[in-house]
Amino acid sequence: MRVPSRGMPGRVAAVIAVGVLAIIVALGLADDGNAQPRGSQAALHAPTATPTATPSATSTEAGVPTPGGATTPSPPRCAQVDPSGGTRLPDVAGALAGDDGSGPLPLGGVDTVLNEDRLDFLFELPGCFRDAHWIDPQNPNRGSGRWAAGRPFHVREGFVNNGVEPLGEGFDVILYVTRLEADRAAPTYRYTSDYVLRGTTDRCGPAYRTQSEPETCEWFVHDFPDGLPQGRFAIWAMWEAPCSAWVDLGLAYSCAESEAVVSLFASGFDAPYGLSGPDYAEPAAP
């Protein structure tokens, strides 16, 4: 079964503020598994195209207002983790469209992930340090910082939603992917999620560090049935939501426009994709 790539919806609001300096932390692309490289891989090898209308990244340091009218509070001690050691920031302003812009299939469109291997952007190493890792299918407390080229995996990140109705307009987790090449400035590609799932977890979304018990998580899933080609890639996950949702999460004080879509939480890393398989040697922080 193949899931078609989905893309940047027209509903994406005019304001997207990226929390890459204040809440930035340590995280793919969607593939539909056709014989030809689908949108994600094809875009990474294709000539440069016209950039999307994604606005420039905006600092959301504590106390600094964002374009959506949100003002971020100062995070408590150790609620802010260290970034992943110098991973290149995505070119949000100049990001090229990596998919067709039709948006994710709605909740219920797909009822399970199509492969078990998962890249977790909320994986923390001991010492308040977040660095995305591929999770060991046999032990969720261990992960690998490398992956084999062409090996399938998926990303599922989202928001807590204990209600009956789906989250609705304005919510998504966007991936920005940049191939790291020393000899040229490779473009950044922007991908919206492929489909939406629900499940129960004790670690869901931007407020995961204060989550005290398992809750229902509405995940936005990116599927990579063909993995990524050989090379090194920087991947950033950016959680998008209406400004009012960030106030509810405690990551913003107030909003001038409650429905303006902003991002106040992001997680990124870079990793090699080569001939070697994963090495699940890294333990997660307690």
State the alpha helices, DSSP H only, in 142-255.
243-248
Task: Please count the structural domains in the chain.
Answer: 1
The gap between the terminal CA atoms of the chain, to the nearest Å, is 37
Residue 34 counted as domain residue? no
The one-character DSSP state at 283 is E
Cβ-based neighbour number of residue 128 at 10 Å: 15
Question: Per the domain annotation, does 9 fall within a domain?
Answer: no
Question: Per the domain annotation, does 248 fall within a domain?
Answer: yes
For residue 226, what are the domain limits?
39-283
Give a yes or no: residue 12 inside a domain. no
Q: Identify whether 7 is part of a domain.
A: no
Q: Answer yes or no: is 123 within a domain.
A: yes
Domain assignment of residue 22, yes or no: no
User: Does residue 173 lie in a domain region?
Assistant: yes
Query: Is 244 strand, coil or helix?
Result: helix
Report the distance separating Cα 167 and Cα 255, nearest Å.
19
pLDDT per residue rounded down to tens, the chain (286 residues): 333 333 344 333 333 433 433 333 333 333 333 333 333 444 554 444 444 333 333 333 333 344 555 665 544 444 556 555 678 888 898 999 888 767 788 787 787 887 889 999 999 887 777 899 999 999 999 999 999 999 999 999 999 999 999 998 899 999 999 999 876 768 899 999 999 999 999 999 998 988 889 999 999 999 988 999 999 999 999 999 999 999 999 989 999 999 999 999 999 999 999 999 999 999 998 7
Distance CA 150, CA 274 (A): 9
